[in-house]
Amino acid sequence: MGRIWFPFYDTVSFEDIKSFIEVNMLKHLDIRIAAMEDDAFVATMPVDHRTRQPLGLLHGGASCVLAESLGSIASYLCIDPDRYDVVGLEINANHIRSVRTGRVTGTCTPVHIGRSSHIWDIRIRDEENRLVCVSRMTNAILDKEKGSCPTMSEPE
């Protein structure tokens, strides 16, 4: 597929990107940006007291937070941030395997990168590379000047 990121990010270091986005919920859950490849974005998250449900298993909602964070960041890295914003439209998740300890790794790859929408496939794996969760996220790309998607007409 080749490099998918907006050219602006070629002039910014990976460490700058990591420090900019490792805030808020990501910081609270210790979600760490691990890699930015030409067509994939990767992060890890611990399975601990912050991310487990009462039975001691990785909480499905925590998996969704990791997936949505990856999909949102990936879309943001594909747009001109001076002209566009990104908002999530839909996320789904299929929980395949339980995890009790360690760190899980989410890898986000594009399904579709269009002018007005992006669709991402996020695969979350355990430390033994076993599939834990499959998620798909759809984002709308909003034109800052128009306050809407680039291909949407203005309200009447």
Q: Which residues carry out catalysis?
A: 68
**CA dist., res. 109 & res. 136, Å (int):** 10
Cα atoms found within 13 Å of the Cα of residue 40, Cβ hemisphere only: 13
The dihedrals phi and psi of 109, each to the nearest 5 degrees, come to -130, 155
**CA dist., res. 71 & res. 63, Å (int):** 12
Q: Which of 23, 43, 47 is nearest to 35 (CA)?
A: 43
CA diameter of the chain: 54
**CA dist., res. 133 & res. 121, Å (int):** 11
